Structure 1
Amino acid sequence: MDWITLAAQLFPGGHTIVEQDNFLTGTAQVDGVTVSIIGSSGHAPIGVEIALMQAQTILTTLRNFPQRPIVILVDTQGQRLRHRDEMLGINSYMAHLGKCIALARSSGYKIIGLVYDQALSGGFITSGLMADACYALPGATIRVMGLPAMARITKVPLERLTELAKSNPVFAPGPVNYLQMGGIEAIWDGDLAVQLAQALQDANPVDRRSAAGLQRGGRSQALPVAQAVRANDSPA
């Protein structure tokens, strides 16, 4: 789904979203409440420019519009792989964006992410996955690392990873597997405006993904390990 069609369905009360070089920004009405919009389109690779503009929009909202909710619309092929961006320190720009979202959450701003087309690697980790909760449309493509790349990094044969992906969501892409792992809260179908309004009402800064992954059977060890680490770090 293209962002124009998406915006019409998400925001029947109206919006001012504009696109410039695959960067989306503007405001919209959700159940009578004004929300700030940031995002990307056209499977955009997230380079230093988009990362900085998204961070700037977050900080402007914090500075000028106290407690205004923020919606992140995600369509990205991931971090831009160019020598120029690497030399400029793209990792620092991405980290800055993630920190700005974390600051907004810790300051009481409700933040919802929605993967409406494609969400890959660093472009997803520092945007939609940083929100209070992230959702996806049924046809979305989601993965942090493709199986061929995973095979190169881990030295596990691609055939073995492909076999594992059939039964283990950790190895498999797609919104259904990320739902099972707790990475996304739900897959939206039907009235998107109603579901967005409900998501904003339910937004909670407490990270519940590990608990959701355990409950849904997609991640059996993330929560117990995190709890064990916290217990060991507690003062005697």
Structure 2
Amino acid sequence: MPTVTLLLVAHGTRDPAGPAVVERIAAATGARLGIPTRVSYVDVIGPGVAEALEAMPGPVVALPAFLAAGYHVRCDLPEQIAATGRTDVAVCPPLGPAPELAAAMADRLRAAGWRPGDRVVFAAAGSSDERALADVRGAAALLARCCGQPLAPSYVTTARPRTEEVCVGERAFVAPYLLAPGLFHRRLTALPATVADPIGDHPAVIDLVARRVRTVVERTAA
């Protein structure tokens, strides 16, 4: 693969567990592809996208480490890249939805004790953006194929139904559509259910990031 630098772009959180996951994904992808990598954030913490790009040689492949194409993916990231004036930055689609994420979530469920036939509650962060919510519904459909049962999304905040509203009654396993630990995952663990770990730096995620990068590099080289 031609030499590029990968910029993995995440939302940003003050919880140190979030950046730690993003850094591990970037490092593992860099090792897989044999390319240099850096991490930046669109909000809350730094380095920001423009700051990171200042120190990066081109060409650059920017990959939004988001699970749906909401406002940050469609507006914030392109605007921040455009503000640098650089024309050698290619942007990948966001991480999700994707079959690799569903596979990772299914593995996290099994590690939490889930077995076929047990009820699964799909829990996403939530958004007011209908296009992002459509992506979440697509992600739930992908996990449903892995679990052998129909799944409709629930949300920790903003959108409905809320996970706390559907996570009642019979024993349930919560599948967090969350990349990293943090406030939303802590809220889920307070519910009367068994909550799987976030997706994290599962090997399938590294496969997905590597696939996204290769696709963009091949497209731009064509």
| TM-score tier (shorter) | 0.3 to 0.5
Larger strand proportion, structure 1 or 2?
1
Q: TM-score of the superposition, structure 2-length normalised? A: 0.33
Q: TM-score of the superposition, structure 1-length normalised? A: 0.32
